[in-house]
Structure 1
Amino acid sequence: MPVTQHDDTTVWHRRTFKQTLAHSAMWLGGLAVFAYCWMQISNSTTWFFVWDAPRIAGDIWSRATPPKWEYITQLGRPIWDTLNIATLGTLISLCLAVPVAFLAAHNTTPSKLFIRPVALFIIVATRSINSLIWALLLIAIIGPGVFAGVVAIAIRSIGFCAKLLYEAIEEIDSVQVEAITATGASRWQVMAFGIVPQIMPAFAGIAVFRWDINIRESTVLGLVGAGGIGLQLSASLNVLAWPQVSLILLVILAAVVISEWVSAKVRGAII
């Protein structure tokens, strides 16, 4: 068993009988759990369809190629809706995430006993539910459409942005804050001139990064009726229009690649 000393040298020691027994028991326990899980998966799997999957995939590929290029004239509005869902959802989430982040950070929260736990709960609650589930809930409340997609993306993004931002707030240089406080500045002046300038690069990076993620997530919200190009994809899948499906997938891929390129350029300029 290797043990690293303070001088970074590795010294090997023989395991005792109890250590060997515990190590073997851990491996056997892991193998037993894996075997049990595999049995459960195997019992609920129709293996005929698994073995037949290559033939089915080849058949779908032959039906989907070549893509139906003339159908691209009907994808302009859906892909525009997808970009709007991602952009507006990101902007709304940032407006809500900033105050939540300041309330959650231990060095800016007004109350560590009452307000901070509430802010942390908001962060965990909005991050723990997928945007598709939020979209399903919102469609039942406000009806299908782009607005439900925007709200779903916004709610899903609050926890992500607030978590990264409050961690950036907690890592600021306290010397600058103390220097501004020593001049007699108010709490809001300290925040505006001592904290905000230090977290602006992190805030910009988080915003661009989340927008890039939201582009990907908004492409599939239409599958549940929340607007965007996913709605066209769902309609094409329902009627087995495979040439249209392949074209839609190519358009989604192009949108994701472009958004990745834009976000990488913006992050590079910021950093």
Structure 2
Amino acid sequence: MNALSPVTQAAKPPRVWHRFTPAERIGRSMVYVLSAIAVVWSLRTIEVIPEFLYDAPEQTADLFRRMWPFDWAFYPEQVHDALIETFHIATLGTLLALVLALPLAFLAARNFTRNPALNWLAQFIFVSSRSVNSLIWALLFVAIFGPGALAGVMSIAFRSIGFIGKLFSEALEEAQKGPVEALTATGAPRAMILVKGYWPQVEPAFWSVALLRWDINIRESAVLGLVGAGGIGVALDASLNNLYWDQVGLILAVIFSVVVVTEIVTSWLRARLI
């Protein structure tokens, strides 16, 4: 028997390794086929006009030629004050969102609030906030408060509640149980458990989320003026309507520069605070 075992062992077919199971391969193939069908269906539905595509490069080049050189005299007249207002909208909107989102984040964290109804309510508010675009929020608040910066601040705030609340509640749920259980065992009050047990663990996440959202809000507030919610978008909308392309180019360059500078500043602050 011992002499026959090597022959029997050699007669077995070699094992072949496959990255995916047959079911996974079928599923991936179905995804590829459905994606191709969706792309073809979308192209047929939107009715792309080939004539408009042929001269698109020429039209784009002509548009950029009209934007240069910039109308630098337009900056102190309209752009500077609108740019400062954009910063104010983004900053106040972010601060208001933090004030509104943090209590909801504690309600959404299942390890802090052990009430499924309150958890569900907070999550519902987060989803509702994130599902509505900032421009839609701006249109709503322009109808309520009228055109101006107040509508922009409210739209930025209500758009940011879902983002800040969701990420901060997830950070709370990932907090270590040891410090919290130790404070609870000593009879510490709820406020002390929050300050000494949870906050030291979630403070880096808080500053990271706050800075990231402020960075995003700077970009979003730059276009809210297109619907009357204040900021530099108002100047951009006026220049577009009047076909002053040299002013449009200046405003777009300013927005791009502000976005780059804001990214650098937030990255520096995040490295210092976290």
Say yes or no: TM over 0.5.
yes
Shift of 1:235: 0.1
- Tell me the CA shift for residue 31 of structure 1: 3.5
Give per-residue Cα distances to partners, 1:102-130, cap 9 Å, x unaligned: 00000111512x11110000010001111
CA–CA distance in structure 2, aligned partners of residues 139 and 125 of structure 1: 19
Q: Which amino acid is the alignment partner of residue 48 of structure 1?
A: E
Aligned residue number for residue 267 of structure 1: 270
Deviations 1:39-78 (A, max 9, x none): 223xx22221121211211221221111111111121110
Q: 1:60 to 1:100 in 2, by over 3 A?
A: same
SS in 1 for 2:73: helix
Q: After the TM superposition, which of the residue ranges 56-65 and 223-232 deviates more from structure 2?
A: 56-65
Matches of 1:256 and 1:24, distance apart in 2: 41
SS of the residue corresponding to residue 188 of structure 2 reads coil
- Who is 1:92 aligned against? 96
Query: Structure 1 residues 27 and 131, CA, compared in 2 at 3 Å: closer, same or farther?
Result: closer
The 5 A counterparts of 1:17-36 are 27-36=32-41
C-alpha separation between the residues in 2 aligned to 1:14 and 1:251? 50
Note the 1:222-261 alignment, pairs <5 A. Answer: 222-261=225-264
Question: Within the alignment, does 1:109 sit opposite 2:91 as a pair?
Answer: no
Letter in 1 for 2:188: A
Counterpart among 55, 65, 69 of residue 68 in structure 2 = 65
- Whole-Å separation in 2 of the counterparts to 1:199 and 1:15: 40
Output the amino acid matched with 2:181: E
Unaligned runs of 5+ in 2: 1-14
**Aligned residue in 2 for 1:190:** 193
Displacement after TM superposition at 1:38 (Å) = 2.7
Partner of 2:5: none
CA distance in 2, matches of 1:20, 1:197: 46
Q: How does 1:2-17 map to 2 (within 5 A)?
A: 11-12=17-18
Equivalent of residue 39 in structure 1, options 39, 44, 48: 44
Residue-by-residue CA offset, 1:87-111 (whole Å, 9 max, x unaligned): 0000000011100000000011151
Q: Which has the larger radius of gyration?
A: 2
Q: How many residues align?
A: 259
Matched residue type, 2:17: V
Q: What percent identity do the matched residue pairs reach?
A: 46
CA distance in 1, matches of 2:131, 2:202: 25
Letter of the structure 1 residue corresponding to residue 248 of structure 2:
V
CA distance in 2, matches of 1:215, 1:10: 54
Question: 1:5 maps to which residue?
Answer: none
Q: CA RMSD in A?
A: 2.3
